[in-house]
Amino acid sequence: MKSVGLITEYNPFHNGHLYHARQSKKLSNADVTIALMSGQFVMRGEPAIFNKFIRAEMALEGVDLVVELPIIGSLSSSDYFAKYGILLADYLGIDTISFGSESANIEALTKIAQDIQQFETNPKYRAQINNGKSYPRVLSDHFNQHHILQTPNNILGLSYLKAIHNFAPNINAMTIERLGTYHHQSSIDHQTLASGSAIRHALNSNDALWKQVVPNHMWHLYEQPQMTKEALFPYIQYALITQSSEDLAQIYTINEGLEHRLQSLITKAHNLDSFITLVKTKRYTYTHIQRALMNIVLNIRQQDVPTNIKAARILGMTNKGQQYLKYLKAQFPERNYITNITKKTAPFFTQEIKATQLYNLCTHSTQNDFNTPVIRK
């Protein structure tokens, strides 16, 4: 069976995602579409607006199989997010990765990705990063503000292409033009398309415009209780006050003494946003701090970072997705494709289970990794 994979967050799922899924399947001539989706936390360093089970149900409107991206990837910068997405895609036997981009020119993107990989071996690159310059700024300066490097989906696409080259050169890549809106726009100004940011803003402010940019027969899923990052602030305060700086230094994404700055400022803020603003510097970006705080509150340590994929957590599937799963199990009988978490399989997903437990503390949801069977459509 021929497969196309989409590395996604669906925070939340919307018409643009549906278009991307359908176009990817059509243009790749795939039999099955697979979403590799962030779980309870997303790349911005925030909890997802709805839990992974609700978002998996949304996703089945456009894909056949929803597989959880390891949380280490979800709470990382673009290169590591891409790395774990591609490693998981390879584990799932995916033939082609399809990503949205503003460029929609796979040849141009591939050429720039190759040039970036070559530049990253240059001592000048490392020197600028060590001096506190942000990764996007270093690239933009080196490549003379190349237009491909000015938009977020292009930049993430370049990370996918580099990861394919490094970890799974057998996987093909294709890109679909991102239509109608940009990733971080905060308002809905199109009749059928909007960014995830704009939809989250509309949902949080009770603006019914969100209804025109998501599949209309799924509105009930968007009317579920929402998670906010501010709900985590008391847990972050507790972790920073009670843990030693030595322990905090062992947390994934904590480096260059960030733990000391976090601890010195935690008692001076009254909410998460004001705290991150206090901590933020040229070296420590807002998003980097936010990811680091999520890793602290989840107690994800450097030693927890996996080097490969040992199991895949299946969150949802259609009949076609179930057929593909049977095909995979026949092709790779030694691999672990897990549809329901048990005591036996739980050790594969320690961090993801913990993330659900924390998410549920804030939302009072009772859906967890043990009592929620694979979602079927």
- In the annotated binding site for ATP, the residues are 7-20, 100, 153, 178
Residues in contact with 231: Cβ distance below 8 Å, sequence separation at least 6, in sequence order: 47, 362, 363
State the first-to-last Cα distance of the chain, in angstroms, to the nearest integer: 20
Burial 185-213 (b: 16+ CB within 10 A, else e): beebebeebbbbbbbbbbbeeeeebbeeb
The Cα–Cα gap between 300 and 247 comes to: 11
Closest CA to 34 of 375, 316, 330: 316
What is the C-alpha to C-alpha distance for residues 100 and 153, in angstroms, rounded to an integer?
A: 6
Residue-wise DSSP of 247-268: HHTTBTT--TTHHHHHHHHGGG
DSSP3 helix / strand / coil % (the chain, rounded to 5): 50, 10, 35
Give 204's strand partners: none
86, 97 Cβ separation under 8 angstroms:
yes
Cα(182)–Cα(78) distance, rounded to whole angstroms? 17
Cis preceding-peptide flag for 234 (omega within 30 of 0):
no
Contact 181, 193 (CB under 8 A): yes
Q: Where are the beta strands (DSSP E) in 124-185?
A: 172-177
**Binding-site annotation: residue ranges:** 7-20, 100, 153, 178
Token pair 């000015």: residue:
150
